[in-house]
Structure 1
Amino acid sequence: MGIPHFLLIPYPTVGHVNPLMQLSQVLAMHGCKITFLNTEFNHKRANVAGAGLDNPKGTQIRFVTLPDGLGPEDDRKDHKKVIFSIERHMHAMLPKLIQDINALHVNNKITCIVVTVNMGWALEVGHKLGIKGALLWPASATSLATCDCIPKLIDDGIIDSDGNPIKRQEIQLYPNMPMMDPENFPWCGLDKIVIHHIAQEMQTLKLGDWWLCNTAYDLEPAAFSISPRFLPIGPLMATNSNKSSLWQEDITCLDWLDHQPPQSVIYVAFGSSGVIDHNQFKELALGLDFLNKPFLWVVNPSSGNKVNSAYSDEFHGSKGRIVKWAPQKEILNHPSIACFISHCGWNSSIEGVGLRLDKDENGLVSKEEIRKKVEQLFGDEGIKARSLKLKELTLKSIEEGGHSSKNLKSFISWAE
């Protein structure tokens, strides 16, 4: 059998690029050949941030690009616009790109295409060309199961055809899964056109033989009883995460952390696309002051949070450090970090367990609520013990002979 050659195609946001990049590094460590397809816009942005993608020396990962069809004036935070532009433009150009890649690697042609959600059209291209396909789902396996259930949820009268809950209730998707509030389904709050796209996308993604999940079986066992297509291969823990960073990381904050007491710092970050409104932003700032503890806060202007004008006049921030972008893996691994205030995107929440911040009657998470929950975390040894137990279970899965490790090897053998 030959060496498998993977073509990896992420939807162009950090939450999709990062896990697929980590998968590519893990596959490369197993001796696989990797071609990684970025949009031209993201490729340039990553290089400006210092990723060095055009210097492939000593790596089995080669980077290629296609245009996303958008102009410099277009807002790439408008996901509806990005999704449909990419499908129109990249879909037409991908067959020629695959042909060119295969011409360069006559003895090691592409054997498998791996996409993230919103890029299912690439599996259609691969299917027509006789190339195997797989999905890497960048969130929890439970959220994948939920999206796959959209037709069933409509038929059962849980949601309407636009994805909105029909009544207040808690439901159980499948036996042994936790009760869920339909108000918290992954698509809630999105444009109805995007919701219809997700439902259609789930059907297209069935062209992928495997739905790879960046999670461990022991974290979500019930989700994996739903379909043999679901395959836990995580957590993906590749070392060189900077290769996929789309913004320059402020590494000086690591030196600042070195000067803080052990388990004393509150880390605050809401991912690459988490936007909080003006009033909530001010309340969060006051809550951090209120705690009177050191904090490290990532406020990324590219996500729509305007740094200079949003803080309240009452905010001092004297105990904290505010940066635009940060090396999150190194921060979360730092002994000075005590807890993490997060939007709970999967790439963040797979780092641990936590408490939900509840909103008040005005729809805001108040500074009092922030203080209450952070102090609860600081004072509850049970939460820490549970986190350490989950950490042990999760890391065991990627060790030699572990559940995720075995699944990954089976996937690589299948892709040859």
Structure 2
Amino acid sequence: MVALPFQGHLNPMLKFAKHLARANLHFTLATTEQARGQVSSTDEPHSLVDLVFFSDGLPKDDPRDPEPLAESLRKFGPKNLSEIIEKKRFACIITVPFTPWVPAVAAAHNIPCAILWIEACAVFSVYYRYYMKTDSFPDLEDPNQTVKLPALPLLEVRDLPTMMLPSDGAPFNRLIAEFVDCLKDVKWVLANSFYELESDIIESMFDLKPIIPIGPLVSPFLLGADEEKTLVGKNLDLWKSDDYCMEWLDKQVRSSVVYISFGSILKWSENQVETVATALRNRGVPFLWVIRPKEKGENVQVLQEMVKEGQGVVIGWGNQEKILSHEAISCFVTHCGWNSTVETVVTGVPVVAYPSWIDQPLDARLLVDVFGIGVRMRDDVVDGELKVAEVERCIEAVTEGPAAVDMRRRAAELKHGAVSALAPGGTSACNLDLFINDITIVT
């Protein structure tokens, strides 16, 4: 398994290995040297996965901005990864979408290759249809233009994944174009989703490039397994988790706490923090907020005052699956990254969707308009800033508003579908069995 050293890449790979572990397969997870010193988990994952590291070709102190990192990996990745591959006999290579040079390496070693698609099947469909020119798209310069694609609601250009838009720049656009091109060397596209969640999208891709749902890739305890009996209970976290927040949650009223997190990459601006904090103070609701130490947002006075008064807790990092599954959580204010989207679906928690970039705008449309489990929080159309009244409107809508009951009912239905998909005989469980049979036959 080959992944980049990002939280959103490493953990889906580890969870994928967990779901395949019943087949007594052996796993090697390869990522770049940059992650060697960052992985702060216990030794527990090593019982399931051998961790190996290869150079991305950049000096140790390089800031690793996206464009030079992608270029260096194109140049040095194939040779450095090949040195790892040559040391063992591998039945299959599985990689993430953002290393489009890996399938060619697999082909050169005559090893079948799979992509672990770590975004929505809907995003895969949009990328494929655009770069393979199977459907017509408007001028992507105009965010107000509409886009009609199979199995999706009517979209605007602003809803599309940003990496394909001119505003994101040529390097990102090139990366996705290379990904779609590399699919010629890919035998399986395995998706961190499940049929019941994106059935129309999955069916719409049957005659183009089939995408096989094998998710949700979450820790087994969220699917009803006894955590003590599962092979691995922890993730490969790049930051240490502040677990004391769970004790605080235990003292809160059921369905009362607003959970706020923007994932592992995005950072809050001080203005955003002050706006959301003011809205929480006005409504008097308890909150659990993830703000990493490197951000300045935690220094906002109104937030510090509320924490001091006991209204809420701010942590640098936490076990999101355990937080979302806690009965005290009422809603999730999220950036709509796909891992967070899957976790909120599996735990049955309604969302306030506040997307920023990459796949998040389309994920937000799915959460609100397709899955029906949330509302969209938007910046002001005049000055582009988030307003207190908008935050209050959204929190009320998902916790007390007329539609809140329907959102919770729909969230509970999706949660049931997620559990069923990976139960024996479920749609994803059967797809995993077929994949195991395929790589066994190949070898």
Q: Same fold (TM over 0.5)?
A: yes
User: Which whole-Å CA distance do the structure 2 matches of 1:74 and 1:197 have between them?
Assistant: 21
**SS state at 1:355 partner:** strand
Partner residue of 2:5 out of 12, 22, 27: 12
1:218 is displaced (CA, Å) by 1.4
Partner residue of 1:378 out of 374, 396, 399: 399
**SS state at 1:44 partner:** coil
**SS state at 1:261 partner:** coil
User: Which whole-Å CA distance do the structure 1 matches of 2:298 and 2:152 have between them?
Assistant: 44
2:41 alignment counterpart = 50
Structure 1 residues 388 and 326, CA gap change in structure 2 (3 angstroms): same
1:88 alignment counterpart = 75
1:293 is displaced (CA, Å) by 0.8
Structure 1 residues 69 and 242, CA gap change in structure 2 (3 angstroms): farther
Partner residue of 1:184 out of 141, 159, 168: 159
Partner residue of 1:63 out of 46, 51, 61: 51
Partner residue of 2:289 out of 297, 314, 317: 297
Determine if contact 2:269/2:297 at 8 Å carries over to the other structure. Answer: no
User: What is the 5 A alignment of 1:267-286?
Assistant: 267-286=259-278
User: Which whole-Å CA distance do the structure 2 matches of 1:378 and 1:335 have between them?
Assistant: 14
- What percentage of aligned pairs have identical amino acids? 27
Amino acid paired to 1:266: V
**SS state at 1:338 partner:** strand
Determine if contact 1:285/1:315 at 8 Å carries over to the other structure. Answer: no
User: Which whole-Å CA distance do the structure 1 matches of 2:73 and 2:293 have between them?
Assistant: 24
Q: Is 1:170 the equivalent of 2:146?
A: yes
Q: Is 1:74 the equivalent of 2:57?
A: no
User: Which whole-Å CA distance do the structure 1 matches of 2:273 and 2:169 have between them?
Assistant: 24
Q: Is 1:134 the equivalent of 2:114?
A: yes
Structure 1 residues 250 and 235, CA gap change in structure 2 (3 angstroms): same
Partner residue of 1:149 out of 129, 132, 137: 129
Partner residue of 1:99 out of 86, 97, 115: 86
**SS state at 2:38 partner:** helix
1:238 is displaced (CA, Å) by 3.0
Determine if contact 2:278/2:302 at 8 Å carries over to the other structure. Answer: no
Determine if contact 1:150/1:199 at 8 Å carries over to the other structure. Answer: no
User: Which whole-Å CA distance do the structure 1 matches of 2:7 and 2:189 have between them?
Assistant: 20
Detail structure 1 runs of 4+ shifted over 6 Å in the superposition: none
Determine if contact 2:55/2:80 at 8 Å carries over to the other structure. Answer: no
Structure 1 residues 402 and 154, CA gap change in structure 2 (3 angstroms): closer
1:244 is displaced (CA, Å) by 1.3
2:19 alignment counterpart = 26
User: What is the 5 A alignment of 1:179-218?
Assistant: 179-187=154-162, 188=165, 189-218=167-196
Structure 1 residues 119 and 227, CA gap change in structure 2 (3 angstroms): same
2:370 alignment counterpart = none
Structure 1 residues 181 and 113, CA gap change in structure 2 (3 angstroms): same
Determine if contact 1:286/1:315 at 8 Å carries over to the other structure. Answer: no
User: Which whole-Å CA distance do the structure 2 matches of 1:325 and 1:294 have between them?
Assistant: 18
User: Which whole-Å CA distance do the structure 2 matches of 1:343 and 1:86 have between them?
Assistant: 28
1:235 alignment counterpart = 216
2:31 alignment counterpart = 38
Determine if contact 1:290/1:367 at 8 Å carries over to the other structure. Answer: no
Superposed CA RMSD in Å reads 2.1
**SS state at 1:260 partner:** coil
Deviations 1:283-305 (A, max 9, x none): 12222222211100000145xx3
Determine if contact 2:289/2:313 at 8 Å carries over to the other structure. Answer: yes
1:92 is displaced (CA, Å) by 1.4
Deviations 1:7-58 (A, max 9, x none): x011221111111111012112332111111222213211xx23327x84xx
Structure 1 residues 257 and 150, CA gap change in structure 2 (3 angstroms): same
Which one is further off, 149-158 or 381-390?
149-158
Structure 1 residues 41 and 347, CA gap change in structure 2 (3 angstroms): same
User: Which whole-Å CA distance do the structure 1 matches of 2:70 and 2:233 have between them?
Assistant: 25
Structure 1 residues 89 and 404, CA gap change in structure 2 (3 angstroms): same
User: Which whole-Å CA distance do the structure 1 matches of 2:233 and 2:263 have between them?
Assistant: 15
Which one is further off, 281-290 or 396-405?
281-290
1:125 is displaced (CA, Å) by 0.6
User: Which whole-Å CA distance do the structure 2 matches of 1:85 and 1:179 have between them?
Assistant: 38
Amino acid paired to 1:209: K
Amino acid paired to 1:12: P
Which one is further off, 125-134 or 233-242?
233-242
Determine if contact 2:250/2:328 at 8 Å carries over to the other structure. Answer: yes
**SS state at 1:35 partner:** strand
1:5 alignment counterpart = none
Q: Give the paired residue count.
A: 388
**SS state at 1:406 partner:** helix
User: Which whole-Å CA distance do the structure 2 matches of 1:301 and 1:388 have between them?
Assistant: 34
Q: Is 1:125 the equivalent of 2:125?
A: no
Structure 1 residues 385 and 155, CA gap change in structure 2 (3 angstroms): closer
TM-score by length of 2: 0.83
Structure 1: state its 5+ residue gaps. 1-7, 103-108
User: Which whole-Å CA distance do the structure 2 matches of 1:145 and 1:85 have between them?
Assistant: 28
1:365 is displaced (CA, Å) by 2.4
1:170 is displaced (CA, Å) by 2.3
Amino acid paired to 2:179: E
Amino acid paired to 2:183: L
Determine if contact 1:286/1:312 at 8 Å carries over to the other structure. Answer: no
Q: Is 1:349 the equivalent of 2:324?
A: no
Which one is further off, 137-146 or 345-354?
345-354
Structure 1 residues 180 and 256, CA gap change in structure 2 (3 angstroms): same
